């Protein structure tokens, strides 16, 4: 596929990797961002004239219409854990899909999440589910990608727990048995590229090769950073109270995040995933130690071995 790809949210965590994957394929990209300056670091990563930047907000139909004008493919990565979840992830998804259809784009790729369900108890899950419904209604041939928790050098998942383990004398563990299937951000970017190039449509659930419980993940991070950590697994009744208070020692947690932890974030049996898009999943252990080194005592000169309870 040739032409211009509008990448909405290209300045975000996943967006920066997706932009690079698309440019490596020789595609021209138009990065649409509420504040385009957040994406300017992409300028030197492509060829001359390969990228352009526009201001756009998925809650403003006029700005999205301008952003997708002339695009042969549209990618929507807009998402938030903030107060505007419903506006961005539900209403905004529909606005993007309708604009892409009106503009005559041949391909629409929409980034959702495992657990997207309009009947979910969490606002995040509901907004993602409603967003998928709006996308399918406006653009039936869209490709919907549902990643599990995405990890990478700049993530707010593995790094968040690594910081907690680094600074907290005791690390409280909520929902120790809930399962994740962490997926590497570069693999998600390659899935986006493959979906744009293939334009096949459908829904794909993206998970890495490892399924880990919260307990296993935290112990793995402690080992990888060489930290002596004291973990205390909290019963759900206590975890619920902490979520209502909005704060876990070392990091905030919202009631909605607590509700999200009530469900596993793993690829469903029989779902098409990375393999169907030609992407080989990357294990957490293959790449995460490269940046987790900064959480070791004495950095890369510190020992990796650790003991924890």
Structural domains of the chain, count = 1
- CA distance linking residue 93 with residue 126, whole number of Å: 13
Q: What is the DSSP code string of 122-133?
A: SHHHHHHHHHHH
Q: Is residue 36 part of a domain?
A: yes
Cβ pair 225, 162 in contact under 8 A: yes
Nearest to 266 by CA among 175, 182, 144, 155: 182
Torsions phi, psi of 307, nearest 5?
-125, 145
Domain presence at residue 238: no
Q: Which residues of the chain have pLDDT under 70?
A: 1-2, 246-252, 298-309
Beta bridge partners of 7: 31, 75
pLDDT at position 40 is 87
Is 212 contained in some domain? no
- The pLDDT of residue 125 is 96
β-strands 179-180, 212-213: how paired?
Answer: antiparallel
Q: What pLDDT is recorded for position 302?
A: 52
Which residue range forms the structural domain that includes residue 199?
4-150+183-206
Return d(Cα 141, Cα 201) in angstroms, integer. Answer: 5
- Terminal Cα-to-Cα distance of the chain (whole angstroms): 53
On whether the CB atoms of residues 9 and 42 are closer than 8 A, the answer is no
- How confident is the model at residue 246, as a pLDDT? 67
Per the domain annotation, does 177 fall within a domain? no
- Report which of 140, 138, 65, 56 is spatially closest to residue 103, judged by C-alpha positions: 65
In-domain check, residue 141 = yes
CB 28 within 8 A of CB 3: yes
| Residue 248: predicted pLDDT | 58
* Burial class (CB within 10 angstroms; exposed 0-12, middle 13-18, buried 19+) of 269: exposed
| pTM attached to this predicted model | 0.92
> Is 13 among the domain residues?
yes
What CATH number is associated with residue 37? 3.40.50.720
Please report whether residue 256 resides in a domain. no
E strand intervals along 56-186: 73-76, 107-111, 143-147, 150-151, 171-173, 179-180, 183-184
Residue 227 pLDDT:
93
Whether 246 is covered by a domain: the verdict is no
pLDDT at residue 249, rounded to an integer: 55
Residues 64-80 have pLDDT tens digits of 999 999 999 999 999 99
Q: Which of 258, 244, 255 is nearest to 178 (CA)?
A: 258
Among 5, 72, 67, residue whose Cα is nearest residue 32: 67
The predicted pLDDT at position 49 comes to 82
Please tell me the distance from the alpha carbon of residue 304 to that of residue 223, in angstroms, as a whole number: 7
């Amino acid at each position: 596929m040739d032409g211009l790809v509008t990448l909405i949210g290209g300045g975000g965590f996943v967006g920066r990797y997706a932009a690079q994957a698309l440019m490596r394929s020789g595609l021209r990209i138009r990065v649409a961002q509420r504040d385009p300056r957040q994406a300017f670091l992409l300028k030197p990563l492509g060829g001359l004239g390969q990228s352009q930047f526009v201001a756009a907000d998925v809650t403003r139909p006029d700005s999205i219409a301008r952003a997708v004008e002339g695009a042969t493919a549209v990618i929507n990565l807009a998402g938030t854990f903030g107060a505007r979840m419903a506006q961005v992830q539900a209403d905004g998804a529909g606005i993007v899909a309708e604009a892409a259809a009106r503009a005559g784009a041949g391909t629409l790729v929409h980034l959702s999440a495992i657990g997207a369900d309009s009947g979910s108890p969490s606002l995040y899950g509901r907004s993602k589910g409603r967003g998928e419904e709006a996308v399918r209604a406006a653009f039936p041939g869209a490709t919907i990608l549902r990643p599990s928790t995405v990890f990478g050098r700049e993530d707010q998942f593995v790094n968040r727990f690594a910081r907690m383990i680094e600074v907290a004398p005791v690390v409280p563990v909520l929902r120790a048995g809930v399962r994740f299937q962490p997926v590497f951000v570069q693999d998600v970017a390659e899935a986006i590229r493959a979906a744009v190039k293939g334009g096949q449509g459908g829904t794909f659930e993206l998970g890495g090769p490892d399924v880990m419980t919260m307990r296993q993940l935290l112990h793995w991070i402690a080992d990888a950073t060489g930290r002596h950590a004291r973990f205390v697994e909290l019963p759900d009744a206590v975890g619920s109270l902490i979520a209502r208070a909005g704060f876990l020692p070392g990091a905030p947690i919202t009631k909605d995040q607590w509700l999200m932890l009530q469900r596993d974030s793993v690829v469903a049996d029989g779902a098409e995933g990375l393999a169907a898009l030609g992407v080989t999943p990357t294990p957490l252990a293959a790449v995460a130690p490269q940046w987790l080194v900064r959480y070791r005592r004495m950095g890369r000169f510190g020992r990796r071995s650790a003991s924890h309870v």
